[in-house]
Amino acid sequence: MIQNSHNAANVFTDINGLQGIRALGKSDQDAALKEVAKQFESMFVSMMMKSMRDASNVFSEDSLFSSPEADFYQNMYDDQMAVTLTQGEGTGLAEVIHRQLMSQYGSNPDATGKVDQSQIFDRRFTGISQTIKRVEEELDKLPQRPAPVDDSNVDTNQSATTGAGTKGQSFASPAEFVAAVYPYAERVGADLGVDPKAIVAQAALETGWGKYTIKGEDGRPSNNLFGIKADSRWGGDVVSIQTHEYRQGVKVNEQADFRSYASLEDGLQDYADFLRDSTRYQSAINEQSSGQTYGHALQKGGYATDPEYGNKVERIYNGDLLNNTLNNMLNATTLENQDG
């Protein structure tokens, strides 16, 4: 196992540290390659953490805690965390990288000049899994920025509430959220003439991928994934929570009543009925808009008060998180059908 012999400051962002490795290579090539491997491991962890942060940035853009200064210090913290996670034995990636470097540049490569690729494959993916797990554990320890809530701008003549509510997590991960919502989105999307992926993208924005769903006072989910308010036309259950609205461009907190449904299927069906029955949203449905413009069409119709609503839906629609999750889910379904 590779031991960490360099100072914590000698990371890939430190020019003096890199010069030190270059000097070390003149006297001890093997030690220098070990240090290079550690640098690559630290770079990998840092890039992975940045990717994790970027995946959730769309939900923090309107947060009161979001600012260039906060992002700057968060990046510094992430860089230091990357260094810490790769100290000592690290994640195992450095050892794999070191063997690969030795096969190409070391003083004693094997007869073929190559290492055992099967061993590299096994160790590489074990190291990545361990790294992802450790990074996720560290990020989970940090206080979460509150996600902005973008709500429907419907008739404000509220019906009487049936109970106060809160916002809480209903799905363990984005993958679980997409798996639960997409089948119903396909059904109502076909009925509305709307790309189901665009419907999931909007639901992901409204709920922070299921982390901030509306719940009743007893903790039961409202199954309202689209922020549809309970106006005078609604005769079903209602949950009252504090939400955010934009009034003349200013973000303010307000108490509002929202529709509550018995199931996700009921919630998505009412969402479809809500859009179909309103003249304001006809430009968004019946295949009059593409998946990329769907959120913009809803915003133009007055669905949300957030001036960036359409852009946010579009970013999620085009983002790697949604597309990779859907691809993995659909590939798994294909394999199951083939096995069956």
Whether residue 130 contacts residue 85, with contact meaning beta carbons closer than 8 Å, is answered with: no
Question: Are the C-beta atoms of 207 and 152 separated by less than 8 Å?
Answer: no
The amino acid at 11: V
Measure the CA–CA gap between 226 and 87, rounded to whole angstroms: 45
Q: Is the distance from CB of 315 to CB of 58 less than 8 angstroms? A: yes
Annotated active-site residue 254? The verdict is no
CA angle 25, 30, 36 (to 5 degrees): 70
Alpha helices in the chain (DSSP H): 15-27, 29-56, 68-85, 93-105, 117-140, 174-192, 196-207, 264-276, 294-300, 309-318, 320-339
Check if 28 is active-site.
no
Contact 45, 85 (CB under 8 A): yes
Which residues lie closer than 8 Å to 263 by C-beta, 6 or more apart? 223
Give dist(CA 26, CA 32) in Å, integer.
9
How far apart, in whole angstroms, are the C-alpha atoms of residue 67 and residue 65? 7
> Which of 317, 299, 316 is CA-nearest to residue 308?
299
**CA angle at 153 for the pair 148 and 159, rounded to the nearest 5°:** 105
Please state, in angstroms and rounded to a whole number, the distance separating the CA atoms of residues 201 and 12: 37
- Catalytic pick from 245, 257, 306, 314? 245
Active-site residues, by number, are 245, 270
